Structure 1
């Protein structure tokens, strides 16, 4: 007797969606924290805007601190004054508390 054939849209039990597979892989190798740090650095221009990004020389995360090297002293002063707002915006972009402190260099 022949088995009933599955339709092309039917899902087999051993197949999982790609998103779930990638999330499981990130959890298994404990890469979530580093992936979130990379997301913060990559989203700097989108969150802060083009004008700030043009004056930014370097952005990196180390031990929960975001380090930003700027080429403009007045911009640095403005961002230092708005440090908590910058921190909130970046963590909101990622969706979790990744950065605890922002240091402007």
Structure 2
């Protein structure tokens, strides 16, 4: 009967449990968005919802439409002098939005 016994061989693993560190909700959301490949939609939604926070109340009150398409931010403004003023500071707008989002979501700004 001894010959019928099965001998088990166990491999010796150098297993150390992972130390879990706390992560922020923002990091978790960014990981989820990246895994579903929806960064463009997410960035567009964040820019639209927080436009007043990024640019200020006066600019937001004169803005009719804001959207991102292929990393280009399109802005429709109903005030010609404001549009001219913002045209001069396109690079600053791009920097502010990318800084707010934490990644390079916008490369250029165009006014409609």
Q: Is TM more than 0.5 here?
A: yes
Query: How many residue pairs align between the two structures?
Result: 90
TM-score by length of 1: 0.74
Structure-2-length-normalised TM-score: 0.70
What do the CA deviations read for 1:4-49 (whole angstroms, capped 9, x no partner)? xxxxxxxxxxxxx894765553233112332122212222111111
Of residues 61, 66, 69, the one that matches 1:54 is: 61
- In the alignment, structure 2 segments of 5+ residues that lack a partner are 1-22
Distance 2:88 2:104 in 1: 21
1:51-90 matches, cutoff 5 A: 51-90=58-97
Which residues of structure 1 form unaligned runs of 5+? 1-16
Aligned partner of 2:52 in structure 1 is 45
Q: Which residue of 2 aligns with 1:27?
A: 34
Aligned twin of 2:111:
104
